[in-house]
Amino acid sequence: MGIHITLHSSRNFVLAIFHGPVKPHELESFVDELLLDKYDNEGKVRLAILSEGASASLLRYQTICAAGKRMRQGRLRQHRGKLAIFARSRVGFGLAKMYQMATEKIDPSEVRVLHGDGLESATQWLGISDLSENIQQLLEAVEQSAAKGLSIQVVH
């Protein structure tokens, strides 16, 4: 189904919500998007949410590892921003840990993988807790749209 990206330029923050079965070309397009200059700012914070219905059943392990390797080699890696990955399911948590390993993080303070009720912890760690309510509303809208077979794309 897809990946929805919201860029909050004024806050140096990127939100990505993964929902439904993610296809290989969608993951590749997502990485292409994140490697664009507009996302290349020092101290950028990123929150990736794997929604309840997110699935990697269409992705091979090599595809996920290749995405992690491309992100590791991108220019934004030089700027050492934080990434929080919040998974709403155990399967999503496993996928997030696999991605974390694929990116070969040297500094454990760069990436945090959370699950269950960790959304609030993720936003606090990233320094964007004032956006928690808006993020929760957007997540609910994306999940409701996905459940109805609709798609929304938001980039600010």
Helix axes 61-73, 90-102, angle to 10 degrees: 50
Average pLDDT for 115-137 = 91
What is the pLDDT, as a whole number, of residue 155? 42
Domain boundaries 2-147, CATH class = alpha beta
Average pLDDT for 17-34 = 88
What is the pLDDT, as a whole number, of residue 154? 46
pLDDT at 52 over 60: yes
Whether 88 contacts 52, CB under 8 Å: yes
- Where does the pLDDT of residue 16 fall: very low under 50, low under 70, confident under 90, or very high at 90 and above? very high
DSSP structure class, residue 6: E
When comparing pLDDT for 146 and 52, which is higher? 52
pTM above 0.75, yes or no: yes
Which phi and psi angles does 87 have, rounded to 5°? -110, 130
What is the pLDDT, as a whole number, of residue 1? 57
pLDDT at 119 over 60: yes
65-77 confidence digits (pLDDT tens): 888 778 777 655 5
Q: What is the mean pLDDT of the chain?
A: 81
What is the pLDDT, as a whole number, of residue 71? 79
What is the pLDDT, as a whole number, of residue 106? 53
